[in-house]
Amino acid sequence: MDGGAQGDLFDLVHDSVFVRGLDGAILSWNAASADLYGWPREAALGRNAHELLGAGHEQSVAELEARLLADGRWEGELARQAANGSVLVVEARWSLRRGPDGAPAAILESGRDITARRAAEAALRRSEYRYRNLFQAMAASFWELDFSPVGGMLRELRKAGVADFGVHLAANPELTREMMRQTRVIDVNEQSVALFGERADLLNASVEPFWPEASTAVFGASVAAAASRAPSYASETRLKRLDGSEFDALFTACFPPEAVGKGTLLIGVIDISERVQAQARLQRLQTEFAHAARVSMLGELTASIAHEVNQPLAAIATNGSAGLRWLARPEPDLDEVKALTGRIVADAQRAADIIARVRGMAMRHEPEMSSLDLNDVVVEALAFLRHELQGLGVETEAVLSASLPAVRADRTLLQQVLVNLLVNAAQAMGGMEGGRKIAVRTSHDARGVEVTVRDTGPGVAPEDRGRLFDSFFSTKASGMGMGLAICRSILETHGGAISAIDPPDAAGGACFVFNLPAAEDVAHTKV
Ligand code: ADP
């Protein structure tokens, strides 16, 4: 056997090919072997292959060679060591070469390096294992779903010219329900069983029974998100257990491209009913607190309210007596009496209005959302405090935007925000000589409607800025420190915000600004 000539021929092959004698001595060694194992041909020829390349499994090599002698061939995976000490996984094929007399003479080994492939497979197994582990062990309910039929439905829709799946599905809830029926459960973890019902009833089921009618839009939006290649989708929604009971859930769907390509989808569900209930309790508490604060403020304002009501009552009494006098004349002046009676009616109406306002403020009620013009609320709050502010020598100015969009809000709560801000402003200017002024301004921009309440008082100390809205933060001797905290809570429950800003023209004083989304935007985000 001419090792050199064979070596030349084998140099054309990409796989490692070498021939060794039955004693293990290397007889030929191609270029790919030199590349793979790092031993040049001169260094390899004549060496014992097992010593040169063995990764410490002589025992099994002897067994394998015994099998080769019996069958004439062997193939399998070997761990082999390269010149630099690294261990390679080699897919090897051995074949027996016989001499002219037919007796076994040498062994030809061809080998292909599959180290990287095996490493990748091991990594994939590890990641699949990790994924399985996560799938089972996470404290959330996980579902693997087959939604390939939905993929088909989406393709049909696209062919039919539907461009925006979000809009289309929102307008066609029955189609969304059909997509639910077409989506089947492949696998669920233990948490899903604990949350929804028996595993056997969950597997292979369609997902429709788990979606109450009212949550259809959320499913539709998640399908639209998947179709738009968003990486994931999350929303709070209500879901249904197999026993028909509903609960508040955080629903998340994840669309990794490999999974979507296979038509599968991973979703997670977290039961947030307790959180939602706690929020509702907190909301009730806040409403009660807001009410308590309002009543305590009304207490402080009693003198001024009494005065407000007294004025029309006194006017009624005066006009009434004057009317009687005109009537008691020998020739009653009926025109004069008519005019006086008109004024009496108007004053009575004024008194009734004031009382209605006070009652509205004092009554406890659940927030009642209606479409409001914030300009009206500003005017009402200023009217409510008119006497109080006049008494303190505070001049007021209202600059109201003529084209203010409506907001969706509870009228009494927003009045309370404004009254709080106005009372704070008036109190802040209490110690001043003169020049007490409050300016209220309404405006609107893309973020919604904005109201600014600005005074000419001492302003807010920089170190207090961050704490103004904290509960019980007050710099006043008898302050409760709840006014601004309640303002913030009221605005946040309406989707708005409040902050203290530097007065725009650096003229001093305090400047509070709050904003609320315009009603049409609120309606839009609800869909
Ligand atoms: P309280 O009025 O009971 O102190 P608030 O929450 O309404 O509670 O106000 C908290 C604090 O914010 C006040 O004590 C005051 O220091 C500051 N503050 C509020 N409004 C103004 C203002 N217009 N000018 C200066 N400081 C203000």
pLDDT in tens, 73-105: 999 888 899 999 999 999 999 999 998 998 999
Element housing 303 (H / E)? helix 273-328
Three-state DSSP class for residue 53: helix
- pLDDT score of 525: 41
Helix H or strand E segment including 178: helix 173-182
pLDDT of residue 311: 86
Relative to the CA of 420, which ligand 1 atom is closest? 7
Output the six-digit token pair for 387: 């006497």
Question: What are the tokens at 468?
Answer: 């103004």
For the chain, the residue count is 527
Q: Which of 484, 489, 490, 511 to mutate to test the pocket of ligand 1 (most atoms within 8 A of CB)?
A: 484
pLDDT above 60 (res 134):
yes
Could you tell me if 517 and 496 are in contact, meaning their C-beta atoms sit under 8 angstroms apart?
yes
Give the separation between CA 377 and CA 365, rounded to whole angstroms.
Answer: 18
Query: Chain-wide mean pLDDT for the chain?
Result: 88
- pLDDT of res. 283: 76
pLDDT band at 182 (very low <50, low <70, confident <90, very high): very high
Phi, psi of 163 (to 5 degrees): -95, -40
Contact 196, 241 (CB under 8 A): yes
Query: Distance between CA atoms of 216 and 172, rounded to whole angstroms?
Result: 10
pLDDT exceeds cutoff 80 at 291: no
484 lines ligand 1 (CB under 6 A): yes
Pocket test for ligand 1, best of 300, 464, 468 (most atoms within 8 A of CB): 468
| H-type alpha helices, 203-272 | 216-227, 257-262
**CA pair distance 401, 449, nearest whole angstrom:** 10
Supply the pLDDT for residue 305. 77
Q: In this structure, what token pair is assigned to residue 507?
A: 């003229």
Name every residue whose Cβ is closer than 8 Å to that of residue 351 and which is 6 or more positions away in sequence. Answer: 309, 312, 313, 316
Which position has the token pair 């015994």? 66
Determine which of 146-150, 412-416, 501-505 has the lowest per-residue pLDDT on average: 501-505
Q: What is the DSSP letter of 453?
A: E
Task: Report the share of the chain in percent with pLDDT over 70.
Answer: 95
Closest by Cα among 28, 39, 31, 34 to 13: 31
Provide the whole-model pTM.
0.50
Predicted pLDDT at 521: 59
- What is the C-alpha separation between 454 and 205, in angstroms, rounded? 61
Report the DSSP beta bridge partners of residue 19.
28, 108
Ligand 1 touching residue 457 (CB < 6 A): yes
Burial class (CB in 10 A: 0-12, 13-18, 19+), 174: exposed
Residues 468, 459: contact at Cβ < 8 Å? no
The residue contributing the CA closest to ligand 1 atom 1 is 481
Non-local CB neighbours of 156 within 8 Å, separated by 6+ positions: none
Provide the token pair at 112.
């292909």
Distance, in Å, from the CA atom of 111 to the CA atom of 89, rounded to the nearest integer, reads 10
Give the pLDDT confidence of 296-310 residue by residue, as tens digits: 777 777 777 787 788
Q: Quick one: residue 448, left, alpha or beta (phi over 0 = left, psi -120 to 50 = alpha)?
A: left
Element (H, E) at 441: strand 437-445
pLDDT at residue 432, rounded to an integer: 86
CB 468 within 8 A of CB 485: no
* Cα radius of gyration (the chain): 42
**Banded model confidence at residue 8, pLDDT cuts 50, 70, 90:** low
State in Å: Cα 455 to ligand 1 middle.
12
Is residue 14 exposed (0-12), middle (13-18) or buried (19+ Cβ within 10 Å)? exposed
Q: Which amino acid makes up residue 370?
A: S
426 CB under 6 A from ligand 1?
no
Q: Give the closest residue to 451 by CA, choosing from 373, 508, 353, 523.
A: 373
Tell how far the Cα of 501 is from the centroid of ligand 1, in angstroms.
14
Report pLDDT for 329.
Answer: 92
The predicted-structure confidence for 353-406, as pLDDT tens digits, reads as follows: 888 877 777 776 677 889 999 999 999 899 888 888 888 899 999 999 998 999
SS (H, E, C) 366-428: CCCCEEECHHHHHHHHHHHCHHHHHHCCCEEEEECCCCCCCEEECHHHHHHHHHHHHHHHHHH
Distance 381 CA to ligand 1 centre (A): 18
Joined together, the tokens standing for residue 291 give 């009410």
Q: Is the per-residue pLDDT at 518 higher than 60?
A: yes
Alpha carbons within 13 angstroms on the beta-carbon side of residue 348 total 10
- Tell me, what's the pLDDT at 338? 95
* Beta strands 437-445 and 395-399, pairing class: parallel
Query: Of all atoms in ligand 1, which is nearest to the CA of residue 480?
Result: 3
Question: CB of 81 closer than 6 A to ligand 1?
Answer: no
**Of 268, 263, 257, which Cα lies nearest the Cα of 234?**
268
Residue 106 contacts residue 97 (beta carbons within 8 Å): yes
pLDDT tens for 206-255 read 999 999 999 999 999 999 999 988 888 999 999 999 999 999 999 999 88
Cα–Cα distance, 74 to 32 (Å, whole number): 21
Ligand 1: residue of 421, 429, 472, 474 to mutate (most ligand atoms within 8 A of CB) is 474
State which amino acid sits at residue 368.
E
Distance separating alpha carbons of residues 346 and 342, to the nearest angstrom: 6
Atom of ligand 1 nearest to the CA of 485: 6
Locus of tokens 């920089």: 462
- CA 460 distance to own-chain centroid: 34
Give the angle subtended at the CA of 452 by the CAs of 446 and 350, to the nearest 5°: 115
Q: Is 421 in the pocket of ligand 1 (CB under 6 A)?
A: no
Quote the CA–CA distance of 281 and 271 in Å, as a whole number. 18
- Kindly report which listed range (155-164, 363-372, 441-450, 516-525) carries the lowest average pLDDT score: 516-525
Distance from Cα 444 to the centre of ligand 1, integer Å: 26
Ligand 1 within 6 A of 422 CB? Answer: no
